[in-house]
Amino acid sequence: MDQPLQIQHPILETLKRGILSAGEIPLKYLNTDKQIENKSPVNLLTIADKETEEFLVDFLKTEFPHDGLLAEEGHEYTGTSGFRWVIDPIDGTTSYAHGFPAFTISAGRIDENNHPVLGMVYQPLYKELYYAVKNSGAWMNQRKLQVTEQKEIASSLIGTGFPYNRREIMDQLMKRLAHFLHNTHDIRRTGSASLDMVYVAMGRLDAYYETGLHPWDTAAAALIVTEAGGIVSKFDGSNFDIFYPETIASNPYIHSDILRLIKESKI
Spatial separation of the C-alpha atoms in residues 240 and 249, rounded to whole Å: 9
Contacts of 64 (CB under 8 A, 6+ apart): 11, 14, 79, 81, 83, 85
Binds ligand IPD (CB under 6 A): choice among 67, 73, 91, 206:
91
Q: How far is the CB of 237 from ligand IPD (least distance, A)?
A: 21
Amino acid at 195: L
Interface segment toward ligand IPD; rule CB under 6 A; list 22-30, 91-99, 170-178, 249-257: 91-99
Binds ligand IPD (CB under 6 A): choice among 23, 26, 124, 163:
163
Instruction: State yes or no: residue 92 binds ligand IPD (CB under 6 A).
Output: yes
Q: How far is the CB of 244 from ligand IPD (least distance, A)?
A: 14
The residue (of 96 and 139) whose beta carbon lies closer to ligand IPD is: 96
Phi, psi of 85 (to 5 degrees): -90, 135
Kindly identify the residues of this chain, within the stretch 67-86, that bind ligand IPD according to CB under 6 A.
72
- Ranked by CB distance to ligand IPD, the top (closest) residue is 161
Instruction: State yes or no: residue 225 binds ligand IPD (CB under 6 A).
Output: no
With contact defined as beta carbons under 8 Å apart, do 261 and 183 qualify?
yes
The residue (of 82 and 101) whose beta carbon lies closer to ligand IPD is: 101
Q: How far is the CB of 212 from ligand IPD (least distance, A)?
A: 5
Phi, psi of 95 (to 5 degrees): -60, -50
Strands 84-91 and 68-71: parallel
Spatial separation of the C-alpha atoms in residues 187 and 181, rounded to whole Å: 7
The residue (of 97 and 133) whose beta carbon lies closer to ligand IPD is: 97
- 148 DSSP assignment: -
The residue (of 51 and 111) whose beta carbon lies closer to ligand IPD is: 51
Instruction: State yes or no: residue 224 binds ligand IPD (CB under 6 A).
Output: no
The residue (of 92 and 119) whose beta carbon lies closer to ligand IPD is: 92
Q: How many residues bind ligand IPD (CB under 6 A)?
A: 15
With contact defined as beta carbons under 8 Å apart, do 116 and 107 qualify?
no
Spatial separation of the C-alpha atoms in residues 134 and 183, rounded to whole Å: 33
Per DSSP, helices labelled H in 8-79 are 10-22, 24-29, 47-63
Interface segment toward ligand IPD; rule CB under 6 A; list 15-23, 137-145, 148-156, 157-165: 157-165
Spatial separation of the C-alpha atoms in residues 203 and 157, rounded to whole Å: 10
Closest of 91, 77, 125 to residue 210, by C-alpha: 91
Residues that bind ligand IPD (CB under 6 A): 72, 88, 91-93, 161-163, 191-193, 210, 212-213, 217
